[in-house]
Structure 1
Amino acid sequence: MDKLIHVVEDDEDIRFIVEYILIESGYRVESSATAKEFHTYMARVRPDLILLDVMLPDGNGIELCRDLKSDIKTEDIKIIIMSAHAAEKAVLEEACADDFISKPFDLDYLIDHVKKILPA
């Protein structure tokens, strides 16, 4: 599988587990812990899917998602928002995300949502 997923998650343990399960499912995975790292990454690489946490130490995932979806160069990149604090309907409408996963989540649930958005 050649699909590239970028995980934007500041919690190192969650990021590690998500990366691991996605790699085990056959995806290529890269990650960022901050909005700044993510912007640097996006300047040089275009992922197929972004898993985006809402609460980042230097930014807001909802705003990042909205910015990506309103830019003609990135509007078609699939984005799944992950949050323990946000309400699904509000996030999907406000951020224009393709999907939402509430934390904590079951790893099988995560993979099911990823495969739905980014089929093999």
Structure 2
Amino acid sequence: MAKRIFVLEDDHDIRDVFELLLKEEGYELELSSSFSELKELLKKSVPDLFVIDVMLPDANGIDVCKDLKAQSATRNIPVIVMSANARSKQMSVQACADDYIGKPFDIAHVMNKIDKLLLKPL
């Protein structure tokens, strides 16, 4: 069964990159551009991994990560936080994120992080 990834990113171009990349690698994917959209998706199912941008229209990705790690249904699901702000890396550690991606990012680097967290053979 394919692993499911929820990507929370408000930049349309970055969401498109993730969609192409992850579907090509055989992952199931749910895309959202706001925290409110993500909350609606979570009412239907939970993923195997979250990829969350820090700067969102209706939330801060660091706070979203903290919220996910505080809830029993999602606390054990790996979260990758991504940001163009270097300070966000330290904040993501404090939010208990499982990994961090700096923007701009290298696609191979991102895939290695995702595959590692989902224990997919490289």
TM range (shorter): over 0.9
TM-score by length of 2: 0.93
SS at match of 2:65: helix
Task: Give the corresponding residue for 1:89.
Answer: 90
| Unpaired runs of at least 5, structure 1 | none
Count of aligned residue pairs for this structure pair: 119
Distance in 2 (CA, whole Å) between partners of 1:14 and 1:73 is: 27
1:117 aligns with 2:117: yes
Runs of 4+ residues deviating >4 angstroms: none
Task: Give 1:86 deviation, angstroms.
Answer: 4.2
Task: Give 1:90 deviation, angstroms.
Answer: 2.7
TM-score by length of 1: 0.94
SS at match of 2:44: coil
Task: Give the corresponding residue for 2:68.
Answer: 68
Do the aligned partners of residues 103 and 64 (structure 1) sit closer, same or farther apart at CA in structure 2, a change above 3 Å counting? same
Indicate the structure with greater strand content.
Answer: 1
Do the aligned partners of residues 74 and 31 (structure 1) sit closer, same or farther apart at CA in structure 2, a change above 3 Å counting? same
Root-mean-square deviation (CA, aligned residues, Å) is 1.1
Task: Give the corresponding residue for 1:103.
Answer: 103
SS at match of 2:82: strand
% identity of equivalent residues: 45
